[in-house]
């Protein structure tokens, strides 16, 4: 079962009030039905189909006729719930129809309080939403919707929770999407998919920790590479001085660091400073050692320019 199906299965089993069910059903019918003399609600998830059947029966005392069909590619089923009676009253109650005109955006009473708003967003997710499993390489939650006006309406509802959703047009439809892991987790919490939140957070924390570890390892490796590269450049400069018989002409301090660098060719500046301080009894800092190597480099550069 996909993570999306797992989330949908969880939220269809929530205990909800009649008003919450009306709000949820308003979004479902708005997005997944064809309306004529009948209302035909087309669903591809068994748990969602059962939830719709139960809601319609409990709210309107109507048992929809259910038709089950194989999907075109033969994987899974499509469920069609057919409602044949009380059509106008149901559509008006769900704020889909008003004075014989279809509404793109529901009236305020459908989302008038916090729980109804959450229920409406649950309904939108149940029939048009999908969310990537956090185990995949990217975080992504989206809703595929039919009009720009409705997409912006849903995006605004999501952003009332500071979810940073965006709208993009894709072919004939519009997609409202969220890409930030923390915001996706917040959305799952808003629609009360609490088990999914725990799973999502566990995976997210593990991935973030793993990524942090990798970044630290990369930084450590980069530092090691930098140490070797710096030491190799210093050795190269010293070898040039030996090649030109210039080492004996340098002062004692420079000769000292030359001796120790050639003896400890792969040591970092700090390690080399500690070794010199310990073995000679003359304390030298990393900064002081670096200064001497810069002086050696300047001498080499001047000798090259004179050649």
Question: For 111-166, how does the pLDDT look when each residue is reduced to its tens digit (9 = 90+)?
Answer: 999 999 999 999 999 999 999 998 876 889 999 999 999 999 999 999 999 999 99
Question: For 40-69, how does the pLDDT look when each residue is reduced to its tens digit (9 = 90+)?
Answer: 999 999 999 999 999 999 999 999 999 998
Average model confidence (pLDDT) across the chain: 89
> Residue 307 pLDDT more than 60?
no
pLDDT confidence bin for 211, thresholds 50/70/90: low
Sorted by where each starts, the structural domains of the chain and their CATH numbers stand as 7-192 (3.10.28.10), 209-306 (no CATH)
> Residue 94 pLDDT more than 90?
yes
Q: Which of 130, 141, 144, 154 is nearest to 174 (CA)?
A: 144
Greater confidence (57 vs 247) lies with 57
DSSP readout, 239-291? Answer: HHHHHTT-GGGS-HHHHHHHHHHHHSTT--HHHHHHHHHHHHS----HHHHHH
């Amino acid at each position: 079962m996909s993570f999306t199906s797992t989330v949908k299965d969880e939220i269809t089993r929530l205990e909800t009030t009649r008003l919450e069910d009306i709000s949820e059903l308003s979004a479902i019918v708005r997005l997944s039905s064809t309306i004529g003399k009948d209302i035909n609600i087309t669903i591809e998830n068994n748990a969602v189909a059962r939830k719709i059947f139960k809601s319609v029966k409990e709210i309107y005392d109507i048992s929809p006729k259910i038709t089950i069909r194989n999907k075109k590619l033969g994987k899974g089923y499509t469920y069609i719930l057919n409602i044949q009676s009380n059509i106008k009253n149901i559509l008006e109650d769900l704020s889909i129809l008003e004075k014989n005109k279809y509404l793109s955006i529901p009236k305020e009473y459908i989302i008038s309080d916090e729980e109804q708003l959450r229920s409406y967003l649950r309904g939108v997710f149940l029939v048009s939403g999908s969310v990537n499993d956090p185990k995949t390489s990217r975080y992504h939650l989206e809703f595929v919707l039919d009009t720009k006006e409705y997409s912006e309406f849903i995006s605004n509802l999501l952003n009332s929770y500071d979810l940073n959703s965006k709208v993009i047009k894709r072919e004939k439809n519009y997609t409202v999407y969220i890409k930030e892991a923390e915001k996706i987790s917040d959305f799952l919490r808003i629609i009360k998919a609490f088990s999914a939140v725990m799973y999502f957070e566990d995976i997210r924390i593990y991935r973030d920790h793993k990524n942090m570890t990798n970044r630290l390892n990369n930084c450590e490796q980069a530092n090691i590479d930098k140490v070797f590269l710096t030491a190799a450049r210093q050795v190269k400069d010293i070898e040039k001085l030996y090649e030109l018989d210039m080492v004996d002409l340098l002062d004692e301090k420079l000769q000292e660091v030359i001796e120790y660098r050639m003896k400890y060719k792969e040591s970092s500046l700090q390690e080399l400073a500690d070794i010199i301080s310990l073995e000679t009894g003359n304390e030298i800092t990393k900064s002081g050692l670096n200064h001497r190597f810069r002086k050696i480099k300047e001498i080499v550069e001047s000798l090259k320019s004179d050649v």
